[in-house]
Structure 1
């Protein structure tokens, strides 16, 4: 019986391979088996050695090639066969990456594992777009929420706690539920003129940043049709965008 292998849950960051940690890059380049998600940037996948076995378990809204439970079991089985596995996840494994569920499954099966943190999309994409998530006198806190619910259920958030004008709200996977988001926040008292940024394919050469307001969000998304992965940033900090990467940003809402 082979010795049990080890699983390393690696945060691949928001897309730009230069934003990988040194440890993440070293781990990827030494990998023999890599299990990866759809949100891992193509340039990051290019770092995987040619001889390594690649297993794509990518998921997206409404399309689940491999359910989460089967992904958990796959990691357990591979390690049980003696494989050392790199589990590559977009952003940070423990921020809307379901890394906690996978780590729990590994722990329950007695499989050794390690976590390599990554830059989450909220900080990576906001910084590249020149948007400060916090700013003195403007935003005192940040809330990270997901616009996608388990099993594609209807979005039902605590709107009252989120509709704080002195808080920056970052919504992962929120494009499809933009109308529900805007309605819930406005219904809880957040002003319709609150600035919103939509960051498409953040930190990659194809990044685009759109600017709109809460009351125009759903209509503008229908007009622009931002492609996944896209991130929403809602709050007054959006009005303070510095746009260091103007060549990949646009302000169509202002036209």
Structure 2
């Protein structure tokens, strides 16, 4: 499929907006915004990208803010279908990538059920981009060979939490937590209970990709206290790679940096 092909009237394009800086969006994402007749935008989408929309384009805020403005997913699905059936070119602009905790597939399925064609334009997920903007690689040769991305929007003891924290600790991967600011203390405690050492490096990157980006770094047993006052959006990285956030925390042992074979 040609991601730069013109959007057809009556089509919905799900556009991943990346980590917050409009300059980090894809070329295809920008092209879709420029063609849109209507844009459904959430609060994590890069606001600077709206400057690319045509003067006649309608912008609809469909944010889901904790303790704030809230548009249900059902209503978002209805709006996508309604505007597409009206012959408009619809862009659903999200932060990060639409398929990484973005409910993008729910919207694709709703459109498919209604017979509305969709196009998915991936974005740079904040799970990788935000740590990178803070100088943290989620993998590093000789240190860690994988990473796990989890949602922290519910605490570990919540009945709806389907995560196996023991398996996460045993995986030996970097752990990237999205939407976990409110539950960071409980998440850290659960990881400690399952055997992750208390001195494991951790870092919280708040407002990644924005001019006021902030990084707080500490050991796992102290990261929740270090992140006091941080408000979403923020990404937490737990594991040896988090040392790169603040190089003065401690140097890597040279053996960790040797190429593994």
TM-score computed with the length of structure 2 as normaliser: 0.85
Match of 1:204 among 207, 210, 215: 210
How many aligned positions are there? 240
Residue 77 of structure 1 is matched in structure 2 by 82
Residue 146 of structure 1 is matched in structure 2 by 151
| Partners of 2:240 and 2:171 in 1: CA distance | 7
| Partners of 1:54 and 1:241 in 2: CA distance | 37
Structure 1 stretches of at least 4 aligned residues deviating more than 4 Å after TM superposition: none
1:149 positional shift: 4.1
1:45 positional shift: 2.7
Q: Which has the higher mean CA deviation after the structures are superposed, 70-79 or 110-119? A: 70-79
Residue 246 of structure 1 is matched in structure 2 by none
Residue 223 of structure 2 is matched in structure 1 by 217
- 1:21-100 equivalences under 5 Å are 21-63=26-68, 65-100=70-105
Residue 184 of structure 2 is matched in structure 1 by 178
| Partners of 1:132 and 1:236 in 2: CA distance | 10
SS of 2:52 mapped into structure 1: coil
Residue 235 of structure 1 is matched in structure 2 by 239
| Partners of 2:82 and 2:114 in 1: CA distance | 10
Residue 12 of structure 1 is matched in structure 2 by 17
Residue 195 of structure 1 is matched in structure 2 by 201
1:43 positional shift: 1.7
CA contact (8 A) 1:165 1:190 kept: no
Gap regions ≥5 residues in structure 1? 244-250
CA contact (8 A) 2:131 2:235 kept: no
**1:133 counterpart = 2:121:** no
TM-score computed with the length of structure 1 as normaliser: 0.87
Over 3 Å counting, the alpha-carbon distance change for 1:108 and 1:24 in structure 2 is same
CA contact (8 A) 1:34 1:88 kept: yes
CA contact (8 A) 1:197 1:212 kept: yes
Residue 166 of structure 2 is matched in structure 1 by 160
1:69 positional shift: 1.1
CA contact (8 A) 1:80 1:111 kept: yes
1:62 positional shift: 4.2
CA contact (8 A) 2:203 2:245 kept: no
Alignment RMSD, CA only? 2.2
Residue 118 of structure 1 is matched in structure 2 by 123
Over 3 Å counting, the alpha-carbon distance change for 1:212 and 1:46 in structure 2 is farther
Gap regions ≥5 residues in structure 2? 1-7, 251-261
